[in-house]
Amino acid sequence: MYGVCGCCGALRPRYKRLVDNIFPEDPEDGLVKTNMEKLTFYALSAPEKLDRIGAYLSERLIRDVGRHRYGYVCIAMEALDQLLMACHCQSINLFVESFLKMVAKLLESEKPNLQILGTNSFVKFANIEEDTPSYHRSYDFFVSRFSEMCHSSHDDLEIKTKIRMSGIKGLQGVVRKTVNDELQANIWDPQHMDKIVPSLLFNLQHVEEAESRSPSPLQAPEKEKESPAELAERCLRELLGRAAFGNIKNAIKPVLIHLDNHSLWEPKVFAIRCFKIIMYSIQPQHSHLVIQQLLGHLDANSRSAATVRAGIVEVLSEAAVIAATGSVGPTVLEMFNTLLRQLRLSIDYALTGSYDGVVSLGTKIIKEHEERMFQEAVIKTVGSFASTLPTYQRSEVILFIMSKVPLPSLHQTVDTGRTGENRNRLTQIMLLKSLLQVSTGFQCNNMMSALPSNFLDRLLSTALMEDAEIRLFVLEILISFIDRHGNRHKFSTISTLSDISVLKLKVDKCSRQDTVFMKKHSQQLYRHIYLSCKEETNMQKHYEALYGLLALISIELANEEVVVDLIRLVLAVQDIAQVNEENLPVYNRCALYALGAAYLNLISQLTTVPAFCQHIHEVIETRKKEAPYMLPEDVFVERPRLSQNLDGVVIELLFRQSKISEVLGGSGYNSDRLCLPYIPQLTDEDRLSKRRSIGETISLQVEVESRNSPEKEERVPAEEITYETLKKAIVDSVAVEEQERERRRQVVEKFQKAPFEEIAAHCGARASLLQSKLNQIFEITIRPPPSPSGTITAAYGQPQNHSIPVYEMKFPDLCVY
């Protein structure tokens, strides 16, 4: 039967005759358009025949491919494309299966032209919105084949470029067809993402190669063609832009693996470019998911080379800055915690020389300069990300970093031994560097919020350490917090300007919050400055920072009381250089003299008291003539000009406290307070110092308390505290508590069981006793007023004052109103 139908054309089904008629005798003539219109009309009129039409076309195409009749193959694909565009009925699913079977056949071919032809047809199909869903369609083959085409290595550069472009377009078509259809295969599964994303990144990676082979002007096309790298970037952006919340992880993980496998973290240029594309393509509320992926990858590579970790951190820095413009969410402290943990690990690696802490033959040797580069990258990342955060989050980050700084306190353990001391020191330096990065540019109107007590206590505790670098960081951090008007750079050099108006300082009136802050913490700040001035290891940078800190306090936080205290403080610093109880070097003493001159010159012009300015100016002029080594212009230079003998400094070269208190007292300042020399208050911070033991600190505090007490002559020597003393105190306190408990029991029992008359008599006796005591007090304290009528003589010839009630007194007429 079928053989007879095949021989007799008139007996063949109509759909087959219509399909055969669209093919010309010569394939170069192309598709017969009139017959194609008839076939399209028939397919629309009888949609139940559409699947048979597709099957027959597929049969012919497979036969033509096998016979290498590629002209008829192109005609068949053109006919399929037109039928797809025209038909949207419910039976199209079966037709699509035949269509996809033909596309797969073309993609399996080794001929580049057939691969490109099949890809173009698939892209047209991907842009069609189907009316009916498909439950069984699979695109696994197309994902694999298109990904393979993206990695084409054909010998001909032009053909290779075309194949790669087709592969990228095919992947883009798969994404468009499946990403928004929940009934289709889930394109976000790792098995698909692990092929699609690396294929796109591979073409992005070769953008330099394409640019280096740009055509000459004579060979340039009429319109600029799109390169595989540009198309891959556009496709990647589209893919990420369609990613939902739960799919971000599957899309980002292949990127990280690709960068690891191809060692692309170390140049880091490509890695940064990739994540910029990612961050600008995804929805802003998904940014924190990318940050979490990077943080997890950094932890996973904690034992990788420092250059790899530094590349990840720099990529994290770029991504975090972009994410901060959207929504970072709960990952803020998580990010800083991870970075600080990696910082501590890097310090351990640099000290031990290995990732395991033990150096053996098989251990990978760590280069210290690479670890240092990684540490600087972490610090830079901390600062760049923190600068984008709002004030409240920035304050939390500042407190968080400060809580990680190891301090030798009673509440925090630190590593001991030589290696432990080095680790603690490096950790302190790195964390303070990070804190300095975060505090730079920090703007907060309320200093109580910017420098809370727990933070300020810990920060100033580090100032008692011997390390000069740590002390310098503390000064710079304080300056960053206090400077709220950008005046910091104007005090970068210490000088005695005759007119400070050239500095163009931005000065605002001290607010109420600032006044409260200074009342609470001023003595703590003054003490820190005073003790910092006494350090032998101070260098020019330390004195410049001290000058900047004094100047900024005077501008940002000063009222009359603060100005008085600052002047007392600077005069006490002058006494340090003059008395030299600390046996400071000559440079340090000259620097303290110069520091005092520069600050008093500044504060005298800020207060605008003429007599004060005149006194300061006179001393400075005398120093210029007789002792220039006591001025900043000769001390804080590359080659300081110092004096070898500072013991016999005449009084004309010094700023006199009596003179200053006299001239400022006449202008309304507290002259009594100005006359008092500044003595720093010793606090619990002393026990954090590595230069003093806890026992020495306690003895110093007891000595100061006894020295300031007015009853110090009557005090007996303190009892020595021993184990027996403590045991006795505990036993005595227990006995006292037992006695008190027994007394209360007796009182309660008496009021419960005694008769009423006895209780009333007891209370009456107590009341009469109280009244008698009050009468005695009144007789002693209250004296009767003098009588207007004078004194009268009582019995026994003694004069006696007679008290007359006020309402009976007679006043002169002038007192009546």
Q: What is the DSSP letter of 754?
A: S
Average pLDDT, the chain: 80
DSSP 43-80: HHH-GGGHHHHHHHHHHHHHHHHHTT-HHHHHHHHHHH
Tell me which of 782 and 645 has the higher pLDDT.
645
Predicted confidence band at 530 (pLDDT cuts at 50, 70, 90)? very high
> What is the rounded average pLDDT of the residues 717-733?
59
Greater pLDDT, 770 or 711: 770
pLDDT range class, residue 202, cuts 50, 70, 90? very high
Residue 779 lies in a domain: no
pLDDT at 809: 57
- d(CA 466, CA 381) in angstroms, rounded, equals 29
Looking at residue 707, its pLDDT comes to 42
pLDDT at 685 over 60: no
Mean pLDDT of 416-428: 72
More reliable by pLDDT, 65 or 595: 595
Q: What does the pLDDT look like over 77-125, one tens digit per residue?
A: 888 878 877 776 555 666 778 788 888 888 988 889 889 988 998 888 8
Residue 374 lies in a domain: no
Confidence of residue 395 (pLDDT cuts 50, 70, 90): confident
What does the pLDDT read at residue 717? Answer: 44
Which residues are CB-neighbours of 77 under 8 A, at least 6 positions away?
61, 102, 106, 117, 118, 121
For residue 781, pLDDT over 70 is answered with: no
Whether the CB-CB separation of 390 and 328 falls below 8 Å is answered with no
Which has the higher per-residue pLDDT, 20 or 483?
A: 483
Give the whole-number percent of the chain exceeding pLDDT 70.
Answer: 79
**Residue that terminates a domain, selected from 132, 160, 195:** 132
Residue 433 placed within a domain: no
Predicted local distance difference test score (pLDDT) of residue 131? 62
pLDDT band at 709 (very low <50, low <70, confident <90, very high): very low
Quote the pLDDT of residue 386.
Answer: 87
Q: How far apart are alpha carbons 596 and 547 in whole angstroms?
A: 9
139/48: higher pLDDT: 139
- Residue ending a domain, among 661, 687, 713, is 687
Provide the pLDDT for residue 130: 67
What's the pTM? 0.71
Section 558-567 average pLDDT: 91
- What is the share, in percent, of the chain residues with pLDDT greater than 90? 33
Residue 369 lies in a domain: no
Inform me whether the pLDDT recorded for 126 exceeds 90: no
What pLDDT was estimated at residue 736? 74
Could you give phi then psi for residue 378, rounded to 5 degrees? -65, -45
What letter represents residue 691's amino acid? R
At residue 207, the pLDDT reads 63
Domain stops at, among 641, 657, 687: 687
* Distance (Å) of CA 154 to CA 112, 157, 170, 235, 309: 10, 7, 18, 23, 36
- Average pLDDT rounded to a whole number, residues 369-393: 88
Tell me what the mean pLDDT of segment 256-274 comes to: 92
Q: Is residue 658 part of a domain?
A: yes
For the cut 80, the answer to whether the pLDDT of residue 711 exceeds it is no
Closest to 563 measured CA to CA, from 571, 554, 555, 572: 554
Mean pLDDT of 713-737: 57
Categorize the per-residue pLDDT at 60 as very low, low, confident or very high, splitting at 50, 70 and 90.
confident
Q: Which of 106-115, 172-181, 494-503, 654-663 has the lowest mean pLDDT?
A: 172-181
Quickly count: other Cβ atoms within 10 Å of residue 649's Cβ. Answer: 17
pLDDT digits (tens, 9 = 90+) for 226-255: 789 999 999 999 999 988 888 899 999 999
More confident call, 57 vs 816: 57
**Domain for residue 446, yes or no?**
no
Query: Which range is least confidently modeled, 267-271, 480-484, 502-506, 713-717?
Result: 713-717
Range of the domain at 10: 1-132
What would the pLDDT profile of 634-649 be if each residue is shown by its tens digit? 999 988 888 877 877 8
Lowest mean pLDDT among 157-171, 261-275, 532-546, 633-647: 633-647
Higher pLDDT, 721 or 363: 721
Q: Give me the helix-helix angle, 560-579 and 586-607, nearest 10°.
A: 160
Better pLDDT: 379 or 649: 379
Nearest residue to 411 (alpha-carbon basis) of 474, 458, 349: 458
Give dist(CA 225, CA 215) in Å, integer. Answer: 11
Say which residue, 776 or 418, is predicted with more confidence. Answer: 776
According to the model, what pLDDT value does residue 687 have? Answer: 43
Domain annotation covers residue 624:
yes
Mean pLDDT of 581-595: 92
Report H helices in 534-585. Answer: 540-556, 560-579
Q: Does the residue 667 lie in any domain?
A: yes
How many domains would you assign to the chain?
2
pLDDT digits (tens, 9 = 90+) for 314-329: 999 999 888 866 555 5
Specify whether the CB–CB gap between 113 and 152 falls below 8 A: no
Most confident of 30-39, 94-103, 470-479, 731-740: 470-479
Rounded average pLDDT over 444-448: 82
Residue 799: predicted pLDDT: 45
